[in-house]
Chain A
């Protein structure tokens, strides 16, 4: 059973544009929602994370928007750069247990110069 659904599967954006990746979850017990960035040949690296007590978190060009009632959250990359080209994974976990991460299927982002 897939507990975190991610879309789109791939995304092409022009340099300077906004990249938007969406995720939806099923388990209302999830209370930690990170986004990971993965470059080819590397392991996933934490980009930004949010907890459900806030609706938005911004770090530089990266923003997470969180809608608890809809059980959805999204990553916005402002002023997208070619160096942002990577695969992005959303994830969710329960902090009252093992913190094991349930990942989405990933979005391959290509930012054209």
Chain B
């Protein structure tokens, strides 16, 4: 596609439910990043993939958060047993390779009620 596509754009879930957020990177981009952005703050790094390999997951807050990119293209960020503090904008970014410009998607706004 023309840009990084994320779905859904908005997700409201009840506390304790699992959610899966999808990222479709720009075609041909091998590097993919997940960030979380709280209101009024800058994006905070969560995890990074190079092709299908998860190279860095140091930003994942706890073991309820996981991500995968099984075929080196689409990625899914999964949050299990959601809590209210998980409410934020989740942004995906991709780049052609690791040392080139990262392009951000419009994000998924997650609200846990």
Q: Is the CB of B41 within 8 A of A99?
A: no
In the bound complex, CA of A75 to CA of B62 (Å): 35
For the side of the interface on B, what is the size category?
20 to 34
Which of chain A's residues have a CB closer than 8 A to the CB of B42? Answer: 4, 6, 89, 91, 103-106
Contact of A43 among B31, B50, B56, B105 (CB under 8 A): B105
Number of A residues contacting the other chain (C-beta, 8 Å)?
A: 22
Interface residues of A (CB under 8 A from B): 4, 6, 41-46, 49, 89, 91, 95, 97-106
Interface residues of B (CB under 8 A from A): 4, 31, 33, 35, 40-45, 48, 50, 55-56, 59, 91, 93, 95, 98-99, 101-107
Which of chain B's residues have a CB closer than 8 A to the CB of A44? Answer: 43, 91, 104
Q: Is the CB of B99 within 8 A of A100?
A: no
Q: Is the CB of A99 within 8 A of B104?
A: no
Contact of A98 among B43, B44, B48, B105 (CB under 8 A): B48
